[in-house]
Structure 1
Amino acid sequence: MNRVAYTVAAVAVGLLAAACGSSEPPRAIPEGIPPGAGTPVPEIDFNAQGRTADLLLDWAEPQADAMNISVPALAAYGHAAAIMSDTAPGCGIAWTTLAGIGYIESRHGTYQGSSVAPDGLVSPAIRGIPLDGGPGVAEIPDTDGGQLDGDPVHDRAMGPMQFIPETWKKWGVDANGDGIADPDNLDDAALTAARYLCARGGDLRTAEGWERALMAYNQSGVYLRDVRDAAAAYSVGTTA
């Protein structure tokens, strides 16, 4: 794989039927691809000042706990999907797909004790292992002098959506209005992932387009299935 690095850790997706402690009957998780689009994201003015993902807090708050996603993280996924719906309507990427990737890559920015601040910043910063060609690991010599990933010898995957420096330098975008494209900010990382997936997959409302996009993000059938399972769970409002 030469674009986006392997996941932070190997994870097994366990689909929980309902929120912890709920007395509701188990929710059926839809099969097939693409996974469902989930709760519709309202239209927002994403050209407004400041963190425009905050305009989706009222959308995110009622459903975040049931999916075990923090409100800032869920707003970031919805925000990215809303922007792409307006700027690239032919793509049709859903926030559930971005959330599925975010779950597999970093548990929505909470891997190894990290957390997502109200402005979308994930700290402590999440970094993957050195991509040094070891067993099961791609070999990618340093491309940024360690400026982005902190490693001057080999590249490492960065942030909650796990971009390598080469990919971030090409696709990274500022989505939270602070003037910086930051791989450690989930607003920025989610929109960057959405742009990348749309460019690679075309129409993600089709099975072919969705699969093509996910395989470009990570060339692994297991990865594709894990993301699909998580995204499908979110599409019906339950946890991955």
Structure 2
Amino acid sequence: MPSHTSATTESQRRRQPLQARAQRTLQAIVQAAAQILVKEGEAALTTNRIAERAGVSIGTLYQYFPDKQAVLRAMVDGQRRAAVAAIEAWLEQASEQGLPREAVARGVVACIVEGFAGRTPARRKLARFAWRQDGDERIALSMRETAERMAAHLQRWGGPSLSYARLYVATRAVLGTVRFASLEASPLIASGALEELLCEMGADMLLGGATDAGAAARAPAP
């Protein structure tokens, strides 16, 4: 008679492919929505069109999402999670390479601009759409959580010398500027001028206006 452990293991083996397939289907639906938005415009964003683009039936789409707004929330959420992941990856890379603190701070701001404003026309269109969804309470909450996760990563990088108040002001100042520039479709985004100025401002705010040497002197000993 098979043991309970063997039965459990076999059950897990059966579930794993299904879970992986479900995740692929979910991602296909979300990616389809993004592709339609970029290539066909917001007016084309219907559940039928999203399902068609994703290669699934409308019934399958509704197994994963109760309505179109849920698909759009997932799309926006995914973009913002990716932006935070990029910041985390940059901080890890910078730590491994021992980069100067000012260079690290500027890199963080560059990640924010790329993640929340976009450097390519397609990315800018997605970012602008995402900011316009902030009237949705759950998306607004997601944005606050994103800012807090971002601040948490920066706090670990900066240590005790980087206060919560400084982090709060710096992240909101950069994000707020990016938000308005994105919503206004400002040409400053494409020109790179916005990113350069925000990198200067963000680095100054995060480091308290200190030079790398001064900031390093204030940093806690490893």
**Max radius of gyration: which structure?**
2
Q: Give the TM-score normalised by structure 2.
A: 0.27
User: Between Structure 1 and Structure 2, which shows a larger proportion of helix residues?
Assistant: 2
